[in-house]
Structures are given as C-alpha cells and as structure tokens.
Amino acid sequence: MNGCRPVLIAFVLLCLSAPSFAQSKAKAQNVPEIPYDSVANFFKTPANIYFGEGIGVATNSKGHVFVYTRSGETRLFEFDQNGNFVREVGQGLYGLVFAHAVRVDKDDNVWVVDEGSNMVIKFNPAGRVAMTLGRRPEAVEELTNFTGQGSAPNSNRPYSFNRPTDVGWDAQGNIFVTDGYGDNRVVKYDKNGRFIKSAGTQGTGPGQLRLPHTMAMDAQGNVYIGDRSNARVRSGTTT
C-alpha cells in the first residue's frame, strides 16, 4: 500500500493544479483584437443536406458563401449573403471525390481543388464547368497506387497532379496550383489552362517543398506558399 501512495499523491496534485493552469491564457503582445459578431445558425440548410466535414469556404462579389464539404461524398453548396440556401453546384460531378479547397476569382468563377480526383475544376457563375485541370485516375491506376506499386511522382507531367491542394491567380489571370501531397511543386498555367512551368522538388533546402498545402498572391505579383511539412512559408514572384 505504501508503495502506491506517492503515485496517488502525484495524481491528486495534478488534478488540483489543472483548473488554475487551464485558466491561464497566453496573450500575444501588441496585437489588436479583431472585433466580430457571432451569428448562430447562419446557414439555413434544407432538411436533407448536412455539412459533414467542412473543408473550404469562399465568398463572391455578392457576398454569397460557397462551402466545400466532404463526408461520405464531396459536395459544393452555395448560400446567399443572409445564409439562405441557393443551390448545390456540380452535383454528382465525376471530378468531385475528396474535397480540399474552394476559391472564387475576381470574375466570380468558383474553383474547387479535389485531392481525390487529382483535378482542379472551374465553374462559371452559372455553376457550369468552364475548365478542368488534371484528370481523375482510372480504377486500375488507383489499384496500383493502393498496393504501393504506382508510378513515380508526376513532377514532369504538365497536366497531371498528385493530390493537389490549392489554386490561385496573379493579376494577369495566370493560374497557379499547389500540387501538394505527391509532387511537392507549384504549377503555373496561363488563363486558358496552358502549361507554362512548374517549380519545386521534394526536400528541405532552398527551392524545395514538403507538402505545399496552401497559397496566396499579393498585388505586387508575389506568391506565398504554406510549406506544411517543412513548417515554413515560402515566397517568390509569379513571373
């Protein structure tokens, strides 16, 4: 019995000290707090629609909100600026397999990046497919990849991806795709989807990436890449 007592005492002390530890909250210094209003139950979904695993959200110039979700199946929903359900975009589309990101460009086209189908799909404002980049693997290709005997990364294939993660554009309308999980690169296309070049190889050194997971562009033509597995943000020009 005596041999167990120190463990018991340590456990009690840990439990007693937990509330005070939980109440201590780290606070960043000299950083302003962003004011906000919380709106409960903003999205009004029909009775037969559920979000499941929400992967991406984006807004267009009208304030409409697009929610890209995956839970059993991948779906893209549109809501108006008041949270009222408008429509489902691309219902049953072959390229919607495993959602990863949704973006809206300056012309209100909606772009989705689908990690499962290895595709980037552009919908026009009417909800019709206007462009596709990449292609969904055939069943036999998926089988060989599952057994570990698939092909090498697609880094030299201009129109194929290996689990892409994000999409963005520069001021000229050129398209950038982070080809993330498998190829560890960024691919550049012109506004019509013609391949221009790719940059990046797998690694930790300069010019290398390990799972480029997200990106953003600024007005000066710089691109910023969330280099996830390297725990860093890389930047460069879009030229």
Among the four given CATH numbers 2.130.10.10, 2.40.50.140, 2.60.40.10, 2.120.10.30, the one describing domain 53-237: 2.120.10.30
Amino acid 16 reads L
Give yes or no for a contact between 99 and 74, defined as CB atoms under 8 angstroms apart: yes
Domain boundaries, the chain: 53-237
Mean pLDDT, the chain, rounded, equals 84
**Residue 80 DSSP symbol:** -
> Residue range 107-113: average pLDDT?
98
- 92-108 pLDDT tens trace: 999 999 999 999 999 99
The tens digit of pLDDT for each residue in 179-229 reads 999 999 999 999 999 999 998 888 888 888 989 999 999 988 899 999 898
**pLDDT score at 235:** 85
Confidence of residue 18 (pLDDT cuts 50, 70, 90): very low
117 confidence band (pLDDT: 50, 70, 90): very high
Is-contact 176 223, C-beta < 8 A? Answer: yes
* CA geometry: angle 227, 155, 145, nearest 5 deg: 95
| Residue 231, token pair as written in the block | 């725990």
Is residue 119's pLDDT more than 50?
yes
136 by Cβ neighbours in 10 Å (0-12 / 13-18 / 19+) ranks as: middle
Written as six digits, the tokens of 86 are: 């408008």
* Mean pLDDT confidence for 1-14: 40
Angstrom distance (rounded) from CA 192 to CA 90:
21
> What per-residue confidence (pLDDT) applies to 154?
53
Q: For residue 175, what pLDDT is reported?
A: 97
> What are the two backbone dihedrals, phi and then psi, of residue 198, each rounded to the nearest 5 degrees?
-130, 155
pLDDT at 238 over 80: no
What is the pTM assigned to this prediction?
0.80
**Cα–Cα dist 211/203, whole Å:** 10
Determine contact, residues 183/162, Cβ cutoff 8 Å.
yes
